[in-house]
Amino acid sequence: MPDSQPLAGLAVVNTRATHQAQPLTDALTRQGAAVFHYPAIRIVPPMNPAPLDAALASLADGAFDWLVLTSTNAVESLAQRLTELTIRNTLPDSGIAIAAVGSATAEAAARLLGVQPSLVPDEFRAESLAAVLDIQPGARVFLPQSEIARPFLSNALTAAGAQVTQVTAYHTLTGQGGDPVPQLFWEGRIDAATFTSPSTVHNFLKRLKAEGGNGGMLVDVAVACIGPQAVDAARSHDLPVQVVPTEHTIGGLVQALCEHFQRIV
């Protein structure tokens, strides 16, 4: 009979930003894991909000045919800035077409913006989103992203003939606080580390090195990446990726981690 808590007795590092860490922590804890927090990233508003503010004003005036959301951070940033600017959220009644890169982003859009994206690809990545977007030449597309977002989606939309307004909705910085994870690595007390985006990988290693650690600490640790982009980022740093879920969600990541440890017991 399978263990009801397959992660019991195991220590797992959660590298998500502080404001987004709890759902993953809760899911890991339900499976018996001891979770250590080590925020690899933190999300802050753009240093120059003027382009975002102008785009949001245009959005409220119905100037776009499509709103393309590529992360929950983008959704949260839009909702926060609309509130700060006291711009009425007209999205629920505007008839604008909305696409989201994945189920978590779609859920955030429903919760924070009051809209249900009509298009979510089966595989939660920019390439899959671009493949299913039916963009007509001349379509006006609003694409709010991080300043470090890959240009792939913007380039693909432009190549399809869209008029793309791409703006920086938020900045991604190295995280702070949390548990003494470098020391825990040195003591051999970490069994797994989870990564939910390329930026969590890059900034985790940046922070780890600044605090006396290095990527070699993960050689004997189960490196779990939520999807292909995080996998690519991890492998670019020679991290030994062992866990990748078929469903690129928090639930899928935890399930894949459970299955991994059940196999090696």
H-run or E-run covering 142: strand 140-146
**Burial zone of 5 (CB within 10 Å; 0-12 exposed, 13-18 middle, 19+ buried):** middle
11-40+176-264 and 44-173 have identical folds: yes
- Residue 4 pLDDT: 85
Using pLDDT thresholds of 50, 70 and 90, give the confidence band for residue 124: low
* 155-213 pLDDT per residue, tens: 989 988 999 999 999 999 999 999 999 999 999 999 999 999 999 999 999 999 999 99
pLDDT for res 1: 36
Kindly indicate the confidence band of residue 102, based on its pLDDT and cuts at 50, 70 and 90.
confident
CB neighbourhood size of 12 (10 A): 25
In terms of CATH architecture, what is 44-173?
3-Layer(aba) Sandwich (3.40)
* Total count of residues recorded for the chain: 265
Q: Can you read off the two tokens belonging to residue 257?
A: 């981690």
Average per-residue pLDDT in the chain? 92
- 43 forms beta bridges with 172
Helix (H, G, I), strand (E, B) or coil at 221: coil
* pLDDT value at 49 more than 60: yes
- The rounded percent of the chain whose pLDDT value lies above 90 is 77
Q: Where are the domains of the chain?
A: 11-40+176-264, 44-173
pLDDT level of residue 86 (50, 70, 90 thresholds): very high
Domain 11-40+176-264 falls in which CATH fold? Rossmann fold (3.40.50)
pLDDT for 63 equals 95
Structure confidence by residue, pLDDT tens digits, 201-259? 999 999 999 999 999 999 999 999 998 889 999 999 999 999 999 988 999 999 999 99
